[in-house]
Amino acid sequence: MGLDQFVSTYKEPEKEDIQYWRKHNAMHGWMQALWESRGGAGEFNYVPVRLYEEDLDQLELDIKNGNLPETTGFFFGSPSHIQSEEEKKEDLEFVSTARKALKQGLVVEYNSSW
């Protein structure tokens, strides 16, 4: 058991996973804050969050500036909001991939389970 995170693209009726993280608790915390800013409340577990261009812009800035939030949870792994350069690179590659999907008219959605 643990925090598993996915980003998928959708275009009826097709779905494709474009990103997978395992226990990337800081990314989960960022996505939870986004969800809450849109009125989400309660347990953030298996709750889809749609990503838009402006979300990816902010995520990119937060990754580059080391502003992903430290996030704790029983199944989330070791809390650490300090990303290595390799982790930042991988997350920025995800942002680029998600932007391309949006430009193709696809829906981009984060989801997680723990």
Contact status, residue 27 vs residue 77, Cβ threshold 8 Å: no
- Token match 């990754």: residue? 63
- Mean pLDDT, residues 90-100 taken together: 98
Residue 9, strand partner residues: 16, 108
How many independent structural domains does the chain possess? 1
Residue 65 burial (CB count, 10 A): 8
Q: Residue 97 class from Cβ within 10 Å (0-12 exposed, 13-18 middle, 19+ buried)?
A: middle
pTM of the shown model: 0.90
| pLDDT of residue 38 exceeding 70 | yes
pLDDT for 15: 95
Whether pLDDT at 84 is above 90? no
- pLDDT mean over 25-53: 96
pLDDT band at 106 (very low <50, low <70, confident <90, very high): very high
Residue 64 is part of which domain span?
A: 4-113
Mean pLDDT over each residue of the chain, to the nearest integer: 92
- With vertex at residue 104, the alpha carbon angle to CA 89 and CA 91, rounded to the nearest 5 degrees, is 15
